[in-house]
Structure 1
Amino acid sequence: MATKLVQLPLIAYHVCLSVPRIPNSLRTQRRVPSANPWSKYTRFKHHPFVCGPICTIKVENQGMGLLEEDEDTIPRTKAKLYQAVEGINRGVFGVSSAKTAEIKGLVEQLEFQNPTENPAFNLEKVNGCWKVIYSTITILGSKRTKLGLRDFITLGDFFQQISVDEGKAVNVIEFSALGLNLMKGQLTIEATFDIASASRVNINYSSSSITPEQLMNVFRKNYELLLSIFNPDGWLEITYVDDTMRIGRDDKGNIFILERSADIFVN
């Protein structure tokens, strides 16, 4: 809830109040105004020309933070968003509808206050390595069972390396196979991109691979299913980006939240 001071419209009072007639004998006794005629009236509420009372009303913050204008609004909203996505494994195995609504509301507040105008024309902001901290991509039910993601395979971090100079993006999804002496591996998906509008880029799938070979053998039977989940082919709208956080929405209706990472991965 945001609080605002509202001066009731003056015109309504002008029709109700009359100006007293000043006797001629007093007309020559005018006081010379000070250099700052407002200096003795604090916040205008005691000034004789302010006819209406000042009242305080509370206006509900609806949806996208339209009334929040404090300088620290973005850092506070980002802190709330980090707290909201904590402990939900990036949402990949689903979250409650209440949690989804909470995250979506915070995302919309940040999107409304995006500090980077025309982000697709300022791609230096997105260059480098990012880690996915939340997305609406989910692996549920039979898909999760087929991919062995209930007990046998554990998902690790999701990274995205963007090279603006090459027009190239590399997505890396890390895995651990518990039945193979805790072997670790990764799915790597390479794609190219080009600017479609001031905020949108087109993404074209190039290639993919799973390393090491033992992990590829685990996924081979359901490789197309795995690729269909993480394939970035389509378009991506960059709806928010600053020095540490990026938010995007794709043509499939998914939301992605990423934080800048210092990690460097090797393909």
Structure 2
Amino acid sequence: MVTNLLQPPMTDSHVSLLICRTMNAMKLQNFVPARNHSRINTSRFGERPLWFRPITIIKVAEHNSGSGLIELETLAQKKRELYQAVEGINRGIFGMPSAKKSEIESLVQQLESLNPTPYPTQELETVAGCWRLVYSTISILGSKRTKLGLRDFISLDEFFQTIDISKSKAVNMIKFSARGLSLLSGQLSIEASFKIASTTRVDINFENSTITPDQLMNVFRKNYDLLLNIFNPEGWLEITYVDDSMRIGRDDKSNIFVLERFDDSNNS
């Protein structure tokens, strides 16, 4: 009975055949593509050892998209840092500490070096529409501010720019308000035309300006030339950075402008 359960001894030929079959099976296994990679990367006991991961597939993915993802992450981070840096400084128009100005300009330069639109005037649709100023090196200090009455009486509110590429027109709209006197709240509008001067630069020509309502014009009439001198965009503008939500420019007066895209349906 026991004898029947025992297998006959393996001959040399049997051993050789078994070894060959085992080796062939191992070779075939090496060529079988891994399946369900997402299921073998980790387990409830933690990560698998490195040798067990589909390294080739991971490397290919990194090669194809890694640098692009890193650049997008860097852009997003720098934009966040810039928005944080300009918080609470009223666009910088009324001055700021030199350390803060250096911090902002450093971030501006970093973004300019990552500009995703290197030839903006060849893609003018990227600059079309309404933009809101978030930072500028235009300054209204000392006697300028006093003469304009901006210290105690009139405050400077939002600054918008609307660009119509079909007409090669740009309109700057500077809003003012008077504390406690809603009738004196209004805006200065400056209309200008522009033409392409290079792949990054446009030349700007002043056309006309208006202040509404008339009561606000009466406040600024005496120093209207000074007001226009501050906000008149005539000259040239270099577009140094533009994407779907932010635009940076530098003009011939060494000013820097940082603007964010704005839904002009809310701009009334």
> Runs of 5+ in structure 1 lacking a partner?
1-33, 43-67
Distance 1:200 1:177 in 2: 37
Distance 2:180 2:243 in 1: 41
Whether the 8 Å CA contact 2:192–2:204 is kept in 1: the answer is yes
Which residue matches 1:211? 212
Which residue matches 1:86? 87
TM-score, length of structure 1 as denominator length? 0.73
Aligned residue pairs, count: 206
After superposition, the Cα gap between the structure-2 partners of 1:181 and 1:168, relative to the gap in structure 1 and judged at 3 Å, is: closer
Superposed counterparts of 1:132-171, under 5 Å: 132-171=133-172
Distance 2:153 2:248 in 1: 31
Give the drift of 1:69.
4.8
RMSD: 2.1
Whether the 8 Å CA contact 2:200–2:239 is kept in 1: the answer is yes
For 1:168-192, what per-residue CA distance to the aligned partner results, in whole angstroms no more than 9, with x for missing partners?
0000000002263463100000000
Whether the 8 Å CA contact 2:118–2:241 is kept in 1: the answer is no
SS in 1 for 2:264: coil
Write out the 4+ residue segments of structure 1 that deviate beyond 4 Å after TM superposition.
none
Give the drift of 1:94.
0.4
Which residue matches 2:194? 193
Distance 2:136 2:70 in 1: 28
SS in 1 for 2:176: strand
Which residue matches 1:19? none
Are 2:234 and 1:225 aligned?
no
Distance 2:259 2:147 in 1: 27
> Runs of 5+ in structure 2 lacking a partner?
1-29, 32-49, 54-68
Whether the 8 Å CA contact 1:152–1:179 is kept in 2: the answer is no
Identity %: 64
What amino acid is aligned across from residue 76 of structure 1 in structure 2?
A: Q
TM-score, length of structure 2 as denominator length? 0.73
| Structure of larger gyration radius | 2
Which residue matches 1:107? 108
Give the drift of 1:71.
3.5
* Larger proportion of helix: 2
